[in-house]
Amino acid sequence: MSNFDDELPTFGDYQDDERQGDGLVRLQWRQGDPKANTGGYFFLSMKNVPEGFTPTSDVWQTHEEYFENTRTRDQGWKAVALPMMVICARGQVFVRPPDGSKQGKIWLDRWDSSRDCAQHVDVLLIADGLQELGPVCWSTNSTTVAFAIIAGADPKRNPNGGILHRIREDVLGAADRVSKAFQNRKAKKLYWLFWITIASQTDAKGKPIFTPTAGKDVTLPAPVLPTTIDTKWLSAAYVGKEMAEYGESMRGLFDEWRLTKFTNDVQPAAEKPTAATNGRNVAQPIEAEEALPF
């Protein structure tokens, strides 16, 4: 493994090709159990991976997940603490369909306080044990989980900020401060340069924190970081030059994916709906990057 302060490739404008995220393997963040006092965890369904695939890291354990809304069970794997290389993220507001309705989400350009809005977020990442799958997508429709990922620091609600904010400020910022060769990681949002473990928030005693919401109390994901991020920690967490270059290439490949938003339009007649869209929720490019909160 090379030093995290190696001179890196030039990070400039990104070009994309036809692959824009269709068919990405999806991960879910599942809530902990207040009665058992257990924290949240990542779940990967066996249905979402190629036949015969098995995670190569022991952070993943075989698991049967129960989905209360549908009263169904699903076989797969769970990870209570997952090291990952974050590539990029995207998010969009939607209106929740009425309970019991078969209507799909109604996608919006911005939050509308007069409607029952929620926040969707997709995080493109390389996950420990899933490297064989390439980039995978951590996807959530939970507003509380979404803002645990993308929110900036807020003195009242979340003084530490969300996951992306903490990687930028705490990790990339620390790397810039101690670096001699390269000092633009934070400004360029080079999230993928370090393995960051994401796990359920815990208190000072290591017990899971249950955050109150309008519904059930939830366990939110957070980065596992030391009190002081120094050169020794950065060197141990650095992904290595080869993986850093791979992360850079994936960031370029999925740039248009990152800048897409969903609309409620039917796909144009000149094109046949694909299996991924079925003519609904067709992705359209965002005109300005400033529209994104990250």
Q: 2: pLDDT confidence band, cut at 50, 70 and 90?
A: low
Taking residues 206-215, report their average pLDDT: 90
Q: Where are the domains of the chain?
A: 26-291
Predicted confidence (pLDDT) at residue 20 exceeds the cutoff of 90: no
Give the model's pLDDT for residue 239: 97
Residue type for position 47: K
Predicted confidence (pLDDT) at residue 200 exceeds the cutoff of 80: yes
Taking residues 178-201, report their average pLDDT: 94
Please list, residue by residue across 67-84, b when 16 or more beta carbons sit within 10 angstroms of its beta carbon and e when fewer do. eeeeeeebebbbbbebbb
Give the model's pLDDT for residue 154: 85
| Least trusted range by pLDDT, from 117-131, 135-149, 223-237, 266-280 | 266-280
* Rounded alpha-carbon distances, angstroms, from residue 105 to 26, 113, 215, 265: 18, 16, 20, 12
Report the distance separating Cα 245 and Cα 239, nearest Å. Answer: 10
Bridge partners, residue 43, by sequence: 28, 78
Give the model's pLDDT for residue 140: 94
Across 94-108, 192-206, 265-279, the highest mean pLDDT is recorded for 192-206
Give the model's pLDDT for residue 153: 85
* Number of neighbours of residue 9 by Cβ within 10 angstroms: 10
pLDDT tens digit sequence for 234-253: 999 999 999 999 999 999 99
Q: 173: pLDDT confidence band, cut at 50, 70 and 90?
A: very high
Predicted confidence (pLDDT) at residue 280 exceeds the cutoff of 70: no
Question: What pTM value is reported for the model?
Answer: 0.83
Predicted confidence (pLDDT) at residue 48 exceeds the cutoff of 80: yes
* Rounded alpha-carbon distances, angstroms, from residue 46 to 24, 57, 157, 189, 272: 14, 16, 36, 32, 29
Give the model's pLDDT for residue 275: 34
Taking residues 69-97, report their average pLDDT: 93
| Contact criterion met (CB below 8 Å) for 280 and 264 | yes
Q: In this prediction, what percent of the chain has a pLDDT beyond 90? A: 67
What is the average pLDDT score of the chain?
83
| Least trusted range by pLDDT, from 37-41, 130-134, 234-238, 290-294 | 290-294
**Among 271, 38, 27, which residue's Cα sits nearest to residue 135?**
27
